[in-house]
Amino acid sequence: MVTTTPLEAELLALAGSVPDPELPVLTLRELGVVRAVHMRGADSVEVELTPTYTGCPAVESMSVDIERVLQEHGMREVTVRRVLAPAWSTDDITDEGRRKLREFGIAPPRAGRTAGPVALQLGPTRAALAPETDPIRCPHCGSADTELLSRFSSTACKALRRCLACREPFDHFKEL
């Protein structure tokens, strides 16, 4: 069992407080991508960062921002190491992160759906309303009557949807 020192916990909180460069409404902690902080000396630290997907272009910006925040806190040497296993999942987004996404106008990913591979169904773009499914709700009015406009939106991790009740378009953070 790995124990975390109080300083490591403090530095983890600082690294986690960095805003996500693509979704600045979320911190890296709320997004669930900062995994751990390990002291490597009195003023040297290593941060484990798991990207949302392996080609995520924001990882470099995240790393630079984490380095800056920790160096401002007195760490002379900061190494940000990309950790790909276990893979990041949208289940790693905190409840607070999901709330912030919704308030920002982005439908959060549905929780608890990534125990294995995400099933892909080809067919109509309208959100399924069967009782056994969890519909994607409009972050503006809460309606479950939504349709898919594009599988990709402003970033690869989001899809573009439209609410058929209030007619507003919105991003949906896809489940991974």
1 lies in some domain: no
pLDDT of residue 175: 83
pLDDT of residue 116: 53
Q: Which of 57, 82, 107 is the last residue of a domain?
A: 82
18 lies in some domain: yes
Is the domain of 169 the same as that of 126?
yes
pLDDT of residue 37: 97
Is the domain of 63 the same as that of 99?
no
Is the domain of 52 the same as that of 100?
no
114 lies in some domain: yes
pLDDT of residue 121: 61
Is the domain of 128 the same as that of 73?
no
Is the domain of 108 the same as that of 155?
yes
pLDDT of residue 155: 81
What are the CA-CA distances from residue 87 to residues 51, 53, 100, 116 (Å)? 8, 8, 23, 11
pLDDT of residue 78: 97
pLDDT of residue 29: 97
Q: Return the structure tokens found at 10.
A: 């403090």
pLDDT of residue 56: 85
Which DSSP string do the residues of 93-143 spell out, in sequence order?
S-HHHHHHHHHHTEEPPPTT--SSPPP---S-SBPP--TTS-PPPPTTT--
CATH number at residue 44: 3.30.300.130
89 lies in some domain: no
Q: Which of 55, 82, 109 is the last residue of a domain?
A: 82
Q: Block means of pLDDT (10 residues each) for the chain, length 176 residues? A: 87 97 95 96 95 88 97 96 93 96 93 58 49 79 94 86 95 86
Is the domain of 15 the same as that of 77?
yes
87 lies in some domain: no
Give the number of domains in the chain. Answer: 2
pLDDT of residue 130: 38
Is the domain of 50 the same as that of 105?
no
Per DSSP, helices labelled H in the chain are 6-16, 28-31, 59-72, 95-104
pLDDT of residue 3: 83
88 lies in some domain: no
Is the domain of 106 the same as that of 166?
yes
90 lies in some domain: no
Give the range of the structural domain holding residue 59, as residue numbers without chain letter: 6-82
pLDDT of residue 118: 52
65 lies in some domain: yes
